[in-house]
Amino acid sequence: MKKILLICCLTIASVGTLQSQKKDPPNILVFYIDDLRAELGCYGSKTAITPNIDKLASEGILFNKAYTQQAICAPSRMSTLTGLRPENLGIYSIFTPLRKVHKDVVTLPQLFKENGYKTISTGKVYHHFADDKESWTQLVARPQDRYFKPENLKAIADLEAEGKKNPKGPAHEDADVADDAYKDGVVANDAIKMLQKYKNDKFLLFVGFMKPHLPFNAPKKYWDLHDKNKFDIPSKEKPKDMFRLALSEWGELKGYHGIPNEDPLNDETTRTLIHGYYAAVSYMDAQVGKVLQTLEELDLRKNTMIVFMSDHGYKIGEYGTWCKHSNVEIDVRVPFIVSREKGYEKRNEGKVSNALVENVDIFATLADISGFNKPKTDGNSLVPVLDNPELKWDEIATSVYARGKNIMGITATDGEWRYTEWRDAKTHKILQAELYEHKNSLLSFVNLSGIKKYSKVENKMKMLLEKQFPRNAPPFPQNDIPRK
């Protein structure tokens, strides 16, 4: 009888332990990177030098087909942090903060804070620094761009003397300074301080590194990692029969001092900027490494899940253009890596998943992992894919890009083909369609829409797109007015 009681007690104790483990949600650390395209060492790049991110990928799952919902900072970040698509938020520009329009939408930090987590924002998380500030336990001040070279400081001073308010400096700098002289080094230091401060709490920590966003300012040692003369100049050819407004005029880059107002840029300027972009990526990677090292030193890795993601992709001269602001593959595809906490029994390491996933899925995923009741979102929890990376997932991933208030670009990919429609934003009348093949490349140079040979593919993609964007739908909601 005593043996039976002992076995029963042990069984109950074991069940209780398992239940307590199940109820013990992990800490969550999110690296949210600005303007990082899906080109890293772990993604097969022979150019990018990213040992720390590559190591993180070896400790988790690398998603090969991850997509953002709009290739511009503010709307993409709002979508991630609310789990709602831009076309449902109705915000398509960088000028409108979330809380100016949506007072009652439950955000990711708000949900976690209400469930007892310490929520911390370092660096750039929302595009607008103070947007949704009540949802953060601690909102760490965001550092600004810094220049150190005398000639660059003089250029800025001269512009100010001419009466220009808050002029942009040069598009790049390589001063021989310490990592924390530029802003991502400051963000890394802040993140480390937050880990030390909240190490005994449950936390949701967003680390918003701002490189490789312009200006490409990084310490000289990261420029020295790369040989400028070995960078190839991308093809400046634009896709044949592309919609006239499909690509932007990349005014974001042209606004920096010293960038000529020419289209396309000459090869020398292009090569220098490419050098700067990759230097900034390497600089950011080093900061990721510092934060991860601190996580290990504080013995937090066993119960901390890590997400590494970008707000959108980026062009560095491809198609003769720059920056993002479009629906093309290289702008909407993003790097996305998830490494579960080391104490998680189903943890996968060094896996690559070709499942179609989206940034809008992050909200549902983190809420699911933490066991929270969540509001209705547009994304899906990726927990099944995290447990089984070979699982087939969504049929399509969709993104949008508005051109002014009258034209909406909507796009879908099935992982191999990208189909885009440019519609009247009110009537959904199709102004022009585009079909591109992306089986083996981020780039495509021929619009295959309307070509008989590809009609079967186009019809399939058109049907998939219209599931998400019905032709009989109401006008696209507009809570701001985007510029062309």
Residues with a known catalytic role:
73, 127
| 404 vs 418: CA distance, rounded Å | 22
Is residue 301 a contact partner of residue 295, using CB atoms and an 8 Å limit?
yes
Structure tokens at 335: 């790097």
Cis omega (within 30 of 0) on the bond before 215? yes
Strand partners, 31: 207, 308
Strand, helix or coil for residue 402 = strand
DSSP-based three-state secondary structure for 279: helix
- Give the position of tokens 């990721």: 288
What values do phi and psi take at 435, rounded to 5? -135, 125
Q: Which residue type sits at 247?
A: L
Q: Rounded to whole angstroms, what are the CA distances from 463 to 98, 131, 301, 460?
A: 32, 37, 44, 5
Measured in whole angstroms, how far is the alpha carbon of residue 305 from the centre of its chain? 17
Strand 407-413 relative to strand 27-33, pairing: unpaired
The DSSP annotation for 24-39 comes to -PPEEEEEEESS--S-
Check whether the bond before 264 is cis (ω within 30° of 0): yes
CB atoms within 10 A of CB 347: 16
